[in-house]
Amino acid sequence: MAGNASAQNIYTCVDGKGRKITADRPIAECMDRTQQELNRTGTVRRQVGPSLTAEERAVQEEKDKAAAEVRAREAEEKRRDRALLLRYPTRAVHDQERVAAIAQIDEVIKASNKRTLELAEQRKSIQAEFEFY
């Protein structure tokens, strides 16, 4: 039990009347102000903020959510930029890939136009056959 007690943290704050209060758990009188959580050596481990009302909690959650969205968007942009740099390390490589992609698209367009002409010829021949019937 003594080992367990020494592992506990200590909370301190100054209440509304200016008194310094110290306890082994969060202090009820200081729930509306910042409390310091000390580790067993007496150094500040962290600052415990005041308890928030429901409205303040909702506002804080919205701020946290917006900040998380911004961080996620920035991380996605960085990831996308890194992927582009890996794929296209220099301007010359990018230009080569672009020319190759445009050439491929041009080939598809040529094949499509050729097929359109073939179908037009086929339609003419079929219409010529139907004229006899």
Find out whether 48 and 11 touch, Cβ atoms under 8 Å. Answer: yes
CA distance from start to end of the chain: 107
The strand order across the sheet containing 44-48 reads: 20-23, 10-14, 35-38, 44-48
Which amino acid type is present at position 98? R
Is 108 among the domain residues? yes
Number of domains comprising the chain? 3
For residues 13 and 39, membership in a common domain is answered with: yes
SS3 101: helix
For residues 94 and 62, membership in a common domain is answered with: no
pTM as predicted: 0.47
For residues 70 and 108, membership in a common domain is answered with: no
For residues 13 and 27, membership in a common domain is answered with: yes
For residues 98 and 125, membership in a common domain is answered with: yes
Distance CA 81, CA 87 (A): 10
For residues 20 and 33, membership in a common domain is answered with: yes
Is 22 among the domain residues? yes
Find out whether 20 and 43 touch, Cβ atoms under 8 Å. Answer: no
Is 2 among the domain residues? no
Q: Per-residue confidence of the chain (133 residues) as pLDDT tens digits? A: 444 555 578 999 988 888 999 998 888 888 888 889 998 888 888 888 887 788 888 999 999 999 999 999 999 999 999 999 999 999 999 999 999 999 999 999 999 999 999 999 999 999 988 887 7
Is 1 among the domain residues? no
For residues 59 and 47, membership in a common domain is answered with: no
The residues near 50 (Cβ < 8 Å, ≥ 6 apart) are 31, 32, 33, 34
Domain of 31 in residue numbering reads as 7-51
